Structure 1
């Protein structure tokens, strides 16, 4: 039984495609350079960052193009094609180095395709294909729950992933359901169905007041996720209230990947392309009724 002070309501996810939201992207560390003297340091920095973002996009396009299309899934082919015009956001500037008048910067960037796989098209066939980009699904047994009912959450992906399941209440309180103090594993196997709660958990999910709409979010990545500040409470983790939902999102994307500098004009020897981390964020409204 979960205390009302910690868990206010029921969970509902993925039973209706209209309320399910999913964002797929990839995160890569890339390096850019600028030797432009005109415009000063600010201009040189902007040009180096632009070059780094372009290298991030090119590295991802190379990675995505390598995926198998042997099953001819139209939805997946559309997703792969959309990466050719993907948007690139700088998550963090990892380093800057000025040498011989040239500025070199290394960034962690998130590359997002023009469109994502709609959750209503995430079929068992897609979840059984590890050759396509990371694809996850999260769902419950009912479309909505009334007070006093117990809830089970199910999650599954097409390939192994690191995951974090977070519940956000109306008042902004955030609880991490997975991993938790009794179920510490944060790495999940592909093509395996997981249930929350299961026998390892020390809590049940029971619907309690207030009624309304809250949110459940699954963060998944092919690489380890960034750490959050949290405290163990009632078999779960209470995320420190100084961290907003945006903070949780950004910290989670602080994944641990190995950066490899892309080839430049000064580098004659071929280099290994940067490693790409596939990322998925799936969330939905949590509907609680009397």
Structure 2
């Protein structure tokens, strides 16, 4: 997609899988003693922080997510018990003063990604339930589009969220559809269907070359997303941030607004969801 009003895009009633996760800022700690080297101690502190990130996510599911269905709640806890932990950023790392012992402290931002298989089976039955972790549905009226055809995109979250919609054309160029110049708000109400474009947007989505496989990704969080580099292109925004960095930058809000976390018992968490749908466009 090269120009604003002649925008190509995509979606299928067959919804793309919505990946849910939690992003945690958490501290880890380990002491060297007589059995471990400094390198091993640093590794164990990192593992301690990862373990605490998983435990914090499980606690969030158990306490913040209000579920009366015990089986459903158990399934979510199980999904996080087998979660993958991705380190997004190391915010600080320091050894204690010599007089305080040979101990290493680390604070990291990690994404805790629950078992995809378990989560997918849960959402198939309960995807609109606001008591569940954040989930976003994205769809359209067609799964294949030809030159000149018009498209409208729809999205809906199971709870309120902050978000952005990124469109990637067949040439790999990115634009931000929402927020845009005429609809700058990045806050979306839960349970409400949003149309893109709407009358507020003042543009249309019309298929134009380059043709091929296109994608639209919605990044959503219960906290504001991290910033990406954009410049206005009519009603929408051209994305200047490298495509490989958009997902990471969108998850980076805590890094941009650091909180002084020093003790292993401290942490902060927000729910995150990323949904991508693709389509083939033709002349």
- Say if 2:97 is the partner of 1:97: no
- Alpha carbons of 1:85 and 1:200: their partners in 2 closer, same or farther (altered >3 Å)? same
User: Alignment partner of 1:275: what SS?
Assistant: strand
Mind listing any 5+ residue stretches in structure 2 that lack a counterpart? none
Q: Find the residue that maps to 1:203 and give its secondary structure.
A: coil
Match of 2:164 in 1: 164
CA–CA separation in structure 2 for the residues paired with 1:96 and 1:4 = 44
C-alpha change, 1:204 and 1:122, in structure 2 (3 Å) is farther
Write the deviation string for residues 146-176 of structure 1: whole angstroms up to 9, x where unpaired.
2111111111111110101001122221101
Q: Alpha carbons of 1:120 and 1:176: their partners in 2 closer, same or farther (altered >3 Å)? A: farther
Residue of structure 1 in register with 2:110 after alignment: 109
Q: 2:30 aligns with which of 12, 31, 34?
A: 34
Distance change in 2, residues 1:35/1:133 (3 Å): same
Structure 2: distance between partners of 1:289 and 1:247: 28
Q: 2:85 corresponds to which residue?
A: 88
Tell me the TM-score normalized by structure 2: 0.87
User: Shift in Å at residue 48 of structure 1?
Assistant: 1.2
The TM-score with structure 1 as length reference comes to: 0.85
| Residue number in structure 1 paired with 2:275 | 282
Give the Cα separation in 1 of the matches to 2:121 and 2:212: 23
The 3 A distance-change label for structure 1 pair 209 and 26 is same
Q: 1: CA distance between counterparts of 2:13 and 2:239?
A: 27
Task: Give the match for residue 254 of structure 1.
Answer: 252
Q: For the Cα contact (< 8 Å) 2:3–2:233, is it kept in 1?
A: no
In the TM superposition, residue 122 of structure 1 has moved relative to its aligned partner by 5.0
Q: Summarize deviations over 1:89-138 as a string: whole Å, max 9, x none.
A: 11100112321221111000000011254499557x632x3211111101
Tell me the number of residue pairs that the alignment of Structure 1 and Structure 2 aligns. 274
Shift of 1:73: 7.9
Q: How does 1:63-212 map to 2 (within 5 A)?
A: 63-66=60-63, 67-70=65-68, 78-99=75-96, 100=100, 101-115=102-116, 117-118=119-120, 126-127=127-128, 129-212=129-212
- Tell me which residue corresponds to 1:62: 59
Q: 1:239 to 1:183 in 2, by over 3 A?
A: same
The structure-2 alpha-carbon separation of the partners of 1:239 and 1:207, relative to structure 1 and needing over 3 Å to count, comes to: same
Shift of 1:14: 3.9
Hey, what's the Cα distance between the residues in 2 that align with 1:258 and 1:35?
25
RMSD: 2.6
Please give the alpha-carbon distance, in whole angstroms, between the structure 1 residues aligned to 2:27 and 2:247: 24
Map Cα deviations across residues 47-102 of structure 1 (whole Å, 9 max, x no partner): 1111111111111111112333335786x764442111111111100112321221
The 3 A distance-change label for structure 1 pair 122 and 109 is same
Please state which structure has a larger fraction of its residues in helix. 2
1:12 paired residue number: 10
- Distance in 1, Cα, partners of 2:110 & 2:123: 28
